[in-house]
Structure 1
Amino acid sequence: MADTKMSKNTSPNEHSTKGAYVHAGEEYTRDTNYIEDRIVADPSAFADDAERDYWPVEANRYRLVAARACPWANRTLIARRLLGLEDVLSVGLPGPTHDIRSWTFDLDEGGVDPVLGIERLQEAYFARFPDYPRGITVPAIVDIESGAVVTNNFPQITEDFSKEWKQFHREGAPDLWPAELEDEMRDVMKRIYTEINNGVYRCGFAGSQETYEAAFERLWTALDWVEERLSTRRYLMGDHITEADIRLFTTLVRFDAVYYSHFKCGRQTLASMPNLWGYARDLFQTPGFGDTVDFQQIKEHYYIVHEDINPTQIVPAGPDLSGWLTPHGREALGGSPFDEAAGATAPGPVRESEKVTAGHNPMYPA
Structure 2
Amino acid sequence: MTETPAADEQGSYVIANRPYERDTRYIETRITRDGRDGYPVEPGRYRLVVSYACPWATRTIIVRRLLGLEPAISMGVCGPTHDKRSWTFDLDPGGLDPVLGIPRLQDAYFARTPGYEKGITVPAIVDVPSGAVVTNDFPQMTIDFELEWTDFHRAGAPQLYPEDLRADIDAVNKLVYRDVNNGVYRCGFAGSQEAYDAAYNQLFARLDWLSERLSGQRYLVGDTITEADVRLFTTLARFDPVYHGHFKCNREKLSEMPVLWAYARDLYQTPGFGDSTNFDHIKRHYYQVHRDINPSGIVPKGPDLSNWNTPHGRESLGGSPFGSGTAPAPR
TM-score range, shorter chain: over 0.9
Aligned to 1:63: 47
- Select 1:204's aligned residue among 162, 182, 188: 188
SS of 2:39 mapped into structure 1 = strand
Aligned to 1:292: 276
**Length, aligned pairs only:** 323
Cα distance between partner residues in 2 of 1:169 and 1:220? 37
1:131 CA drift (Å): 2.2
Aligned to 1:331: 315
Alignment of 1:39 onto 2:23 = no
**Contact 2:62/2:230 (CA < 8 Å) preserved in 1?**
yes
1:208 CA drift (Å): 0.9
Where in structure 2 are the equivalents of 1:93-112 lying within 5 Å? 93-112=77-96
Cα distance between partner residues in 1 of 2:97 and 2:201? 42
Please give the per-residue CA displacement for 1:265-305, whole angstroms capped at 9, x wherever unaligned. Answer: 01001011111000000000000001011101000000000
Cα distance between partner residues in 2 of 1:120 and 1:131? 14
Please give the per-residue CA displacement for 1:152-193, whole angstroms capped at 9, x wherever unaligned. Answer: 000111000000000000000000011111111101000000
- Select 1:155's aligned residue among 139, 161, 171: 139
Residue identity over aligned pairs, in percent, reads 66
Please give the per-residue CA displacement for 1:178-219, whole angstroms capped at 9, x wherever unaligned. Answer: 111111110100000000000000000011111110110000
Aligned to 2:104: 120
1:54 CA drift (Å): 4.1
Cα distance between partner residues in 2 of 1:196 and 1:54? 34
Where in structure 2 are the equivalents of 1:1-366 lying within 5 Å? 18-43=10-35, 46=36, 53-340=37-324, 344-350=325-331
1:328 CA drift (Å): 0.4
SS of 1:55 mapped into structure 2 = coil
Q: One-letter code of the match for 2:87?
A: W
Change (3 A) 1:224 1:179: same
1:263 CA drift (Å): 0.1
Cα distance between partner residues in 2 of 1:138 and 1:24? 26
- Give the number of the structure with larger relative contact order, counting CA–CA contacts within 8 Å between residues 6 or more apart: 2
SS of 2:241 mapped into structure 1 = helix
**Contact 2:25/2:118 (CA < 8 Å) preserved in 1?**
no
1:349 CA drift (Å): 1.8
- Normalised to the residue count of structure 2, the TM-score between the two structures is 0.96
Please give the per-residue CA displacement for 1:204-250, whole angstroms capped at 9, x wherever unaligned. Answer: 00111111101100000100000000001000003100000000000
SS of 1:33 mapped into structure 2 = coil
SS of 2:31 mapped into structure 1 = strand
Aligned to 1:359: none
Please give the per-residue CA displacement for 1:308-327, whole angstroms capped at 9, x wherever unaligned. Answer: 00001000101101110000
Please give the per-residue CA displacement for 1:11-36, whole angstroms capped at 9, x wherever unaligned. Answer: xxxxxx94111111100010111000
Cα distance between partner residues in 2 of 1:124 and 1:185? 32
Over 2 Å off, 4+ runs: none
Gaps of 5+ in 2: 1-8
**Contact 2:165/2:222 (CA < 8 Å) preserved in 1?**
no
Change (3 A) 1:193 1:54: farther
Q: CA RMSD in A?
A: 0.9
1:252 CA drift (Å): 0.2
Cα distance between partner residues in 2 of 1:145 and 1:243? 30
Please give the per-residue CA displacement for 1:86-107, whole angstroms capped at 9, x wherever unaligned. Answer: 0011000000000111000000
Cα distance between partner residues in 2 of 1:32 and 1:276? 28
Cα distance between partner residues in 2 of 1:81 and 1:330? 23
Cα distance between partner residues in 2 of 1:125 and 1:205? 26
